[in-house]
Amino acid sequence: MLLPFLSECPSCNLAFLLDASSKSTNDWQNILNFVNNLVTRFNINQNCVRVAVIRYALSADVSIPLNRFNDVNSLRAGINSLTIIGGGSNLATALQVLRLQVFASFASNVVRPGATLVAGIVTDRLTCSSQITTEAANLRNGMRVHIVGVAITETRRVDTGCLRGLVTPNQYAESATYNQLNRYVGQVGGFLCVSTAPRPSRMCL
């Protein structure tokens, strides 16, 4: 039986961009736990919410493609298996991979026509550049991607003003520490695939 907030069935493609630059194993696990708690809010299957994960440091890869997992339990296991890349951080690489691979028009068999496109950036290290701002603008304006940002400011390495400027207006949250991330699951979950917010129960057909 689906919980009320899982009964909604939007056509939504959700991609998480996770900053996998150097950090402790415990800090990385807190990030993964946060994302896993977020995905439990959604009806994960190929007809409703599809989820991809891009890990990035100085380079980026599609760790979980949109069409890999069809249920929340296997998705959570896949997310929990992800490892740190290490090194520096360049969000531009992840935004490029999102635009050219995950949400690309040639992947129409995966990116369903008319589906909402949502990107959730989770970062603890960000230095702004014209490349980053241009990539984000291309996604927001050219592809109509809804961008949500989550900053972890414990490292004091995040240009929060830059991140606020990259995301869709007001779609931003900020955690002072890694272990406080889960306090923001409700807030951030309300930004992602918003039609899955709690409503009277309706089964997904």
Region of residue 167 (left: phi > 0; alpha: psi -120 to 50; beta: else): beta
Degrees, nearest 5: CA angle 101-103-108: 95
Q: Say if CB 52 and CB 62 are below 8 A apart.
A: yes
Give the model confidence (pLDDT) of 147-191 as tens digits: 999 999 998 999 999 999 999 999 999 999 999 999 999 999 999
Q: Say if CB 120 and CB 17 are below 8 A apart.
A: yes
CATH number of the structural domain 12-191? 3.40.50.410
Residue numbers in the chain where pLDDT is lower than 50: 1-5, 196-205
User: What's the pTM?
Assistant: 0.89
pLDDT over 90 for what percent of the chain?
80
Degrees, nearest 5: CA angle 149-151-154: 175
**What does the pLDDT read at residue 19?**
98
